[in-house]
Amino acid sequence: MSHSQESGGRRLDRRRFLTTAAVGGATIVGASALGGLDAEAAFAEPMPSLDAAIPAAFAEGRIVATNRNVLDVAGSHGERHLIQLTNATSIWKLRTTTAEAIEVGDGLYARGAAMPDGTIAADAVWVNIVNVYVTIRGIARDRLHLTHGNEELVGHIVPDTTTASYLGGALTADLSRTRIGQEAQVLGAWRPADGAIDIARVSLGH
Amino acid sequence: MIPLVSNLAPLACAVLLALTGAAKLFGRQTAQLAANTVLVRVLNDGRRATLALRTLGGAELALAAALLASPEALLPGIGTAVLGAGFTGYLAYAKATAPESSCGCSARAEGPIGVRSFARAGLVVAGGLAAAGADSAWWSQVSRRPGGSALVLAAAAALLLCASADLDHVWLLPLRRARIRVFGNPLPSAAGERVPVAATVQLLENSLAWQTAMPVVRSALLDHWDDEGWRVLRYAGSYQDARGTHPVSVLFALDLTLTVDTAPHPAVRVSLIDEETEEVVPSSVLTPVPVRTALPLAT
């Protein structure tokens, strides 16, 4: 208990320090400060690559074991990956989270750098992420009933997390503009236990 | 009431079995359908699974004919009930061993086995038992009490409709739409609530600041918090200088009330903190987004 309070305190101190650095002496990049006015300016020249010396690596599969910060992953095509998590690894499981949220049996998609010993040092890990095109067939207080082809799916609404985008607009917590019969794209986290989806984002009317 | 139901049960069961049996026996998709069922694993072969489904279709048609022709006989009713019990057992087995497989019950491409599949099998058992108890032929029952018969048959049809997903668009979706029209959308409207973090990330990813910092950023969103009107988004990154590669925290600070709808070109504060020395890295490591060169025009 005292340990977690202590680490929580450290976390807040660190955030406070980073906020001061971020807001204090920061470079302001706005529309008029650097470059052209439209976003497409970025495509005028190719982006520099991350780091040519380190080969980029991708891994995808089900987690069969976790050992401290190493995930043992069985790929969909019979391959095996060892994925090393560091404190610079971002972890997504419905929302930005930490390594403690990862469970054996979860699906995973990881991006990182291939290490000489064969492991992958992960930059970013997405756990149970799914992206499906669906039709909304029913709306309840805490879930959407969806069909993907002929398959029925349940999409759970998660308070403070589920967002919606209408006609390509900004993501909003306002879900009340969903309609039965609409086509939608759902990004979310699959629940291995019952096959349902916790919805992170539902995009409508694109 | 009960004799009425059990006298009409042979007719209802016969129509149902004739429809599903004919679809299985003569359907063009039977082979495709069989491939999705657990039968393939049990019989070790797709062709044998197809044959099994077609044989079952034939048996269903034969039962339907027997039910129609001799409704007072005990055997067709018992046969139907046994068939229904067999379906239930098969569903339970498939659900336990391969929950994602299709049930193949009504010979259409259906989703995984659910409550409705079991309800359908249960209805076949109940219908078969009721048919076994029939004490007069359905045609004489219909001519004796046409009104009551029509009512019972309509109820049976409605019951089967509810247990099958094929006709949802006819009755279930309009019903749900009507409920939302009357009672309103049950989902939160969240008017005037705070901007979700996902919307701030969206705003950042559409910004010039993101394009400028992208070569340095390596991770996805690592942490975020709100402080004094700012929303700070932290990413992990690395930059290179003469002494090698250094890990950094890439921090973006944005106004926490803005979204892409309200601010198409937001000003974003960007800073890089060296993870080892905890010092602010000069912004010269960021690559300014090049001004777009105009494409040559054909004259």
Q: What is the ipTM of this complex?
A: 0.83
Residue in chain A closest to B258 (alpha carbons) equals A170
Position B192 confidence tier, pLDDT thresholds 50, 70, 90: low
Q: What is the pLDDT of residue A31?
A: 44
Under 8 Å CB pairs connecting chains A and B tally to 226
Q: Does B109 touch chain A (CB under 8 A)?
A: yes
Residue numbers of A between 58 and 87 with CB closer than 8 Å to B: none
What pLDDT is attached to residue B174? Answer: 87
Q: How near does any CA of chain A get to the CA of B145, in Å?
A: 40
Q: Is residue B170 scored above 70 in pLDDT? A: yes
Does residue A69 contact residue A86 with C-beta atoms inside 8 Å? Answer: yes
pLDDT in tens, A33-58: 333 334 343 344 434 444 545 567 88
Least confident of A185-189, B28-32, B262-266, B279-283: B28-32
Please enumerate in sequence order all residues whose Cβ is within 8 A of that of A16, keeping only pairs 6 or more positions apart, or say none.
B227
Q: Are A164 and A124 in contact (CB under 8 A)?
A: no
| Cβ–Cβ under 8 Å, residues B261 and B243 | no
Instruction: Calculate mean pLDDT across residues B230-255.
Output: 90
Residue B294 DSSP label? P
In this structure, of B31-40, B157-166, B290-299, the range with the lowest mean pLDDT score is B290-299
Among chain B residues, CA nearest to A36:
B291
Nearest CA to B71 among B126, B162, B124, B140?
A: B140
Is the pLDDT at A2 greater than 60, yes or no? no
Average pLDDT over residues B99-107: 63
Rounded Cα–Cα distance for residues B196 and B257 (Å):
9
CB A151 within 8 A of CB A137: no
Read off the amino acid at residue B135.
Answer: D
Q: pLDDT tier at B102 (50, 70, 90 boundaries)?
A: low
pLDDT of residue B288: 66
Chain A residue numbers with beta carbons less than 8 Å from the beta carbon of B262 are 170
- Count CB neighbours of B237 within 10 A: 27
Lowest mean pLDDT among A98-102, B231-235, B286-290: B286-290
| A175 in B contact zone (CB under 8 Å) | yes
